[in-house]
A and B are shown apart, each in its own frame.
Chain A
Amino acid sequence: MSARVGVVVFPGTNCEHDTVSAFERAGATATLVWHTEERLGGLDAVVLPGGFAHGDYLRPGAIARFSPVMDAVARFAAAGGPVLGICNGFQVLTESGLLPGALVKNRGLRFLCAPSRVRVTSVSSVLTCGLAPGTELGIPVNHFSGSYFCDDRTLAELRDANRVVLRYVENPNGSIDDIAGITNAEGNVVGLMPHPERASDVLLGSADGLPLLRALVAAAADVHAA
């Protein structure tokens, strides 16, 4: 049986069906998980997809962190389960404290919806494991608050522990150190602003996101087998 990936749906999430479809293309069985769920029974990986959870009120991700499912996601992460936050999902992970730092408004106050190129800068994560370091991928971005920020000490920690998993080739939003995606110390929780699910088929203009999704599915399969 293939790995089971749960895609969390908050009120205002809008990328869940694309994400389910992309993960199925990557070989997983993907299902939607409503944000009031208190258990993630039977899942091998959890994905927080893009959108505007709870209307992005207060700050993106600030209210989503109180959804009942987030306690279950935190337990799942603490037990070593693979957790991926894409775009708004990344914002939810930082607001929840599952990843350090914050996503602030883009440099120039521009909403960005554009192709972007990212480079794999660490393969020590469930999203990049198995890829060749330095690989460049074409994956689109679609955000207003996507500029990654953290204090100097956190940035030094991220760099020293090789936790910056993706960097923009050309920084589109003012992110500190060109950061497009990071992981936690254990490598099982990853957040990124670009949308790999929107680059999961050549028909979409790029299939460069598939290797990332497949890496997560492989990590989920390991959980499944354990």
Chain B
Amino acid sequence: MSEQPQFTIRVDQNKFLPEGGREVHAIVSVESTGGPPTAARPAAAAAEVIIIDTSGSMSYPDAKLHAAIAAAQAAIDTLRDGVNFAVVSGANSASMVFPAQPALVPADANSRAMAKRELSRLKAQGGTAIGSWLRLADQLFDAHQHGIRHAILLTDGKNQHESAEELDAVLARCTGRFVCDCRGIGTDWEVAELRKVSSALLGSVGLVADPRDLVADFQAMTEDAMGKAVADVSLRVWTPQTAKLRFVKQVMPSVEDLTARRTESGPQAGDYPLGAWGTESRDYHICVEVPAGEVGKELRAAWAKLVVPGGPGRPEQVLATGNVLALWTDDEVQSTRINPRVAHYTGQTELDSAIQEGLQARKDGDLDTATARLGRAVVLADEVGNEAITTLLRKMVDVVDLATGTVRLKKNVDKADEMSLDTTSSKTVRTRKGEG
């Protein structure tokens, strides 16, 4: 087992509550340091499965399939020596591209060359059944459950050749078994559908509008996966018996509500899966409702711990801990102060909701709601300093008055721009512009 990277947990909050106050908010920042693998700290075992959509639509235009093949080849070149990998093609069902047998093989010069050669022979034909592709990937990862397990899934269409229930069943089976980053190419795929997959499998979702951008994107995803040092990290949250955990949300690098992902892990404690970690930091917003206490009383309202499995036959390890506190005071100056980071991420969570609601209303033809919600989003994006989202929003709406959030929906909106806003709405920024 390689040495664990160093993890730290930092808690940002205003622990002071007014008399009778019950709601405790905190931003829990988890950061790991340690840098790239070294001789002293060898890289963690890793497994990678690349899933390429080869449904018939991938050849309309042909550039999509060619880009997908080139991107997968670039990803293979990015794999470290020794990483166990496979390439899968997906249509009405999944089939092995490389190796021929359903298994992973270690990356070396020879296996890379063979895999790339097999990729170049791919033809586009048939339909789209994403669940069946994931089922094969899951089977491939079966023998490699200790270590980093990462998949890339590329598709260009809707999941038309299996039922939503079938996909849900596969997702339920695969959750926690591997991490999957999903990419949609073109504009004929469904953002919500692919987000469901990436969200369940703790990965990202993204739109690659231009096939020419696919190579760089695959390379980046694979590099990121190779940079992971530890798999299956969990955030364990303890709360007092008299308290209620209202929510646990990832708020950086993107908004992801983890509340429903809880698995009980001990008395008054539950684990929230975070997937694999490299040298990176992520922030979580925790909200706990506690019974009101007397002035002067101090409570540990939540105890956050970063937990990793200890490897075969070894106990799990707690790598870092942090306290979320509640301290009742009659000093209003203290109790009314809002922690800036809590406010910042609350704003971005609301921004994500405003965009999602606005886009949905627009699709449903409820233009009043769409205008109001996207107008609110314009204000929030400006407030939190999320310039990427501001840029995308302005492709959807004309801003009449920024102060009041008065906007007009644009008449002609590029489908790719709309999908891009949809996939980007949950992406957050760490600090407002001009700060930090």
**A joins B in a complex:** no
Which residues of A come within 8 Å of B, CB atoms?
Answer: none
